[in-house]
Structure 1
Amino acid sequence: MGAERSTDRTLGHGRAVAKLILLGEHVVLYGRPAISLPVPLVGVTATARRSRGPVTVESTNAAGREPAAGPGDTAVSRLAVAAVCHHLRVPDEGLAIAVDSDIPSERGLGSSAAIAAAIIRAVADLWDRKLSGETLFALIQESEALAHGNASGVDARTVIGSAGPLWFQDGVARPLPVADSADRAVLVVGDTGVPGSTRVAVATARRRLHALGAAGEDLLERAGQLTHGAAEHLRFGRFAELGDAMTGAQRILVRLGVSCPAVDELVTAALAGGALGAKLSGGGLGGCVIALTTDAPAVHTALLAAGAQRCLEVPLNPVEV
């Protein structure tokens, strides 16, 4: 399985999608479950071609709003190239990588994991090599861990091709059943416009849990209970109860110190606009708010009026990615 298996292929292609965390961010690092969803309409494409000289990575943003790659994404991009080349036993030089992303960076939407996944797929495709799902996951995790520190794996599992919600715990993911009536409710995602930092947020939550002692353990248990309940609410189409679980999870995230004024304002606005529940999604300290609703236009309007830079709608029911 060495470099001698190169082909005449001139371009390699890869794609991955964005993700949301419905419940369980941060506490998933302490053995509690999380529920994630893919965002198939927002994603990353990457192409890889052979060139002369060192590896180059160029990033563009399809939406044209901001640079496609933040500092963390740039680091992950280069680490992903090195990781996949080492795995394939091919030279990690003489490659030109082009990344086109419409996932806002540092917003809790899995930008860095999706970029890593798309690049790894593109380089493997250039060499006409197939990667198993577990190998792809491991390579994304390697890239994420070196760039950001401890990564739970929920981002990597979700961006590489889940169809609908995933239950994630202790590194293992499985699809969650969703009620047929789930198309009556959607998640409206509001971008605060404030960049978050997963590394800083994880450290903040760790310090807060340590300071809380036994009360911190109680928070983790409560968060786990909310996530278990949310899985049942999804299965049986209990949207009001699911919304309550989301808002309860937000209260825990506030106590963990990973919310911020911009997030709090959008959560309040979404609830006032008729959302069944609302919370931050992802690392926090900025990023995005998700609001569950059966009246998307009203919540969309409320979020924009409260300062959201942009909004999008994500279905709860399974979709093909």
Structure 2
Amino acid sequence: MGSARADGVIRTPDPVDFDALVARFRSLYDAEPDGVWAAPGRVNIIGEHTDYNGGFVLPIALAQHTVAAVRRRNDTVVRIASASINDGAVVTLDLTDVTEGGDYGWAAYIVGVGWSAGQRDLPVTGLDIALDSNVPVGAGLSSSAALSCVTARAWSDLLDWQLDNETVADLGRDAENKIAGAPTGLMDQLASVCGQESHAMQIDTRAVTITQLRFDLPAAGLSLLAIDSHTEHSHADGEYAERRRSSQEAALRLGVRELRDVPLESLATTLDKLPPLLRRRARHVVTDSARVEQTAAILLAGDDLRRIGPLLNDSHASMRDDYEITAPSVDALQEAAVAAGAHGARMTGGGFGGCVIALVDQQDAAAVADACVAAAARGGFPTPTVFEAVASGGAARIR
């Protein structure tokens, strides 16, 4: 690993040392890898829990990646070792034994990709894999999607599956949904596979279409801070699944296919048909999807990006009050960031912890970061770590 860049409490995660990863692969498997692949985590700028409701989302791919040195095997065995899990010990699984409902631990995000490929009648062989990552885990930055997508990209390239990006992403989602048991939508995987430098992706999750929108914050004198609360969350837990069930029940009671189909202009009268809990859940989904479209319009018009700030604040309030997925630690960070001069801030990711993002003028970044650390200390919360989130490219072979 290299040295982290630091500016006060703003610390860029250490980069992955590719040479060290390849050397570890050789040591583990007594062979050369066929190549090295990388897939990024993501920050969702706006539009939370809208993806599984057919709505819009607006993520960026991060500069932080999960990196995999990979070699194709001639059997159905998958061997995996991660620098940060199980003390680097090799996990060995046979793809013929992988089924829905099986318990494969963190390896589910990898072997689930091979399982999904087999369900699509793609030719599948085993792999030897060595992994490293600098995507923060449990921070709502899609470290799991980076893991499944680097695997999907490598497998597809090595076996010449000739898949489009959307299908590569869908292999990753299958691994998460059906083998790992995490009920995520498709946003995380699409962002990891399809990211472009200095662009945000407006994703229509129903049509599975992506509009790349220029998102060059440095050119506007801005930074996007990712403030990790170190309050861990999990997509596989019951709270996330409950929100998904509530959304589906609300749509059913309203007689629409998905909450995406509820018109914003008649929202108040439409929601009167629902009991209070479902009313709050539906209001968040419909309004946050609309906020994505408003943000995208600002980007498309080339307007002052500071105008996004109030939309970020409104999104956080909606997640806190209507969808009820924030946590006291992230609420404190969001409030501190805005009080210290951020144009807007909100929690990003599945919720119940994770990261807050804050849109700040570059010259104010250090002061906002300091204020967030101080607010966490006052509240008795874990000390947050802060880094700059930079829109970067998607999953690719790098060696």
The TM-score by the shorter chain falls in which range? Answer: 0.7 to 0.9
Pick the aligned partner of 1:103 from 115, 118, 135. Answer: 135
Match of 1:4? Answer: none
Using the alignment, how far apart are the partners of 1:238 and 1:303 within structure 2? Answer: 25
Match of 1:47? Answer: 69
Please tell me whether the aligned partners of residues 62 and 393 of structure 2 are also in contact (alpha carbons under 8 angstroms).
Answer: no
Q: Residue 44 of structure 1 aligns to which amino acid in structure 2? A: T
Using the alignment, how far apart are the partners of 1:196 and 1:13 within structure 2? Answer: 29
- Describe the shift of the 1:160–1:303 C-alpha distance in structure 2 as closer, same or farther (beyond 3 A): same
Alignment partner of 1:189 is 2:226: yes
Q: Residue 111 of structure 1 aligns to which amino acid in structure 2? A: S
Match of 1:152? Answer: 185
- Describe the shift of the 1:158–1:72 C-alpha distance in structure 2 as closer, same or farther (beyond 3 A): farther
- Describe the shift of the 1:184–1:61 C-alpha distance in structure 2 as closer, same or farther (beyond 3 A): farther
- Describe the shift of the 1:139–1:53 C-alpha distance in structure 2 as closer, same or farther (beyond 3 A): closer
- Describe the shift of the 1:10–1:297 C-alpha distance in structure 2 as closer, same or farther (beyond 3 A): closer
- Describe the shift of the 1:282–1:72 C-alpha distance in structure 2 as closer, same or farther (beyond 3 A): farther
Please tell me whether the aligned partners of residues 184 and 235 of structure 2 are also in contact (alpha carbons under 8 angstroms).
Answer: no
Unaligned runs of 5+ in 1: 1-7
Alignment partner of 1:175 is 2:212: yes
Q: Give the secondary structure class of the aligned counterpart of 1:194.
A: coil
Match of 1:238? Answer: 304
Q: Per-residue CA shift, 1:152-187, capped at 9, x if unaligned?
A: 211111111411201112132221244787542121
Using the alignment, how far apart are the partners of 2:240 and 2:289 within structure 1? Answer: 17
Please tell me whether the aligned partners of residues 189 and 312 of structure 1 are also in contact (alpha carbons under 8 angstroms).
Answer: yes
Alignment partner of 1:254 is 2:289: no
Alignment of 1:82-93 (within 5 A): 82-84=115-117, 88-92=122-126
Please tell me whether the aligned partners of residues 179 and 234 of structure 1 are also in contact (alpha carbons under 8 angstroms).
Answer: no
Please tell me whether the aligned partners of residues 165 and 194 of structure 2 are also in contact (alpha carbons under 8 angstroms).
Answer: no
Alignment partner of 1:119 is 2:151: yes
Name the TM-score, length of structure 1 as normaliser.
0.83
Unaligned runs of 5+ in 2: 1-30, 90-103, 251-275, 377-381, 395-399
Match of 1:5? Answer: none
Please tell me whether the aligned partners of residues 49 and 285 of structure 2 are also in contact (alpha carbons under 8 angstroms).
Answer: no
Q: Give the secondary structure class of the aligned counterpart of 2:70.
A: strand
Q: Give the secondary structure class of the aligned counterpart of 1:89.
A: coil
Please tell me whether the aligned partners of residues 72 and 125 of structure 2 are also in contact (alpha carbons under 8 angstroms).
Answer: no
Q: Calculate the aligned-residue CA RMSD, in Å.
A: 3.0
Please tell me whether the aligned partners of residues 48 and 288 of structure 2 are also in contact (alpha carbons under 8 angstroms).
Answer: no
Pick the aligned partner of 1:304 from 349, 361, 373. Answer: 373
Please tell me whether the aligned partners of residues 23 and 36 of structure 1 are also in contact (alpha carbons under 8 angstroms).
Answer: yes
Alignment partner of 1:19 is 2:52: no
Q: Which structure 1 residue ranges, 4+ long, deviate > 6 Å from structure 2?
A: none
- Describe the shift of the 1:308–1:220 C-alpha distance in structure 2 as closer, same or farther (beyond 3 A): same
Using the alignment, how far apart are the partners of 2:339 and 2:332 within structure 1? Answer: 11
Match of 1:284? Answer: 351
Larger mean Cα displacement after TM superposition, 258-267 or 228-237: 228-237
Q: Per-residue CA shift, 1:215-259, capped at 9, x if unaligned?
A: 543333322222221112333333343111001000111121110
Please tell me whether the aligned partners of residues 166 and 190 of structure 2 are also in contact (alpha carbons under 8 angstroms).
Answer: no
Identity %, equivalent residues: 26
Using the alignment, how far apart are the partners of 2:305 and 2:80 within structure 1? Answer: 43
Using the alignment, how far apart are the partners of 1:108 and 1:183 within structure 2? Answer: 26
Q: Give the secondary structure class of the aligned counterpart of 2:71.
A: strand
Match of 2:241? Answer: 203
How far did 1:127 drift?
4.1
Alignment of 1:135-150 (within 5 A): 135-146=167-178, 147-150=180-183
Please tell me whether the aligned partners of residues 204 and 257 of structure 1 are also in contact (alpha carbons under 8 angstroms).
Answer: no
Q: Give the secondary structure class of the aligned counterpart of 1:98.
A: strand
How far did 1:88 drift?
4.1
Please tell me whether the aligned partners of residues 16 and 45 of structure 1 are also in contact (alpha carbons under 8 angstroms).
Answer: yes
Q: Give the secondary structure class of the aligned counterpart of 1:173.
A: strand
Which structure has the larger Rg over C-alpha atoms? 2
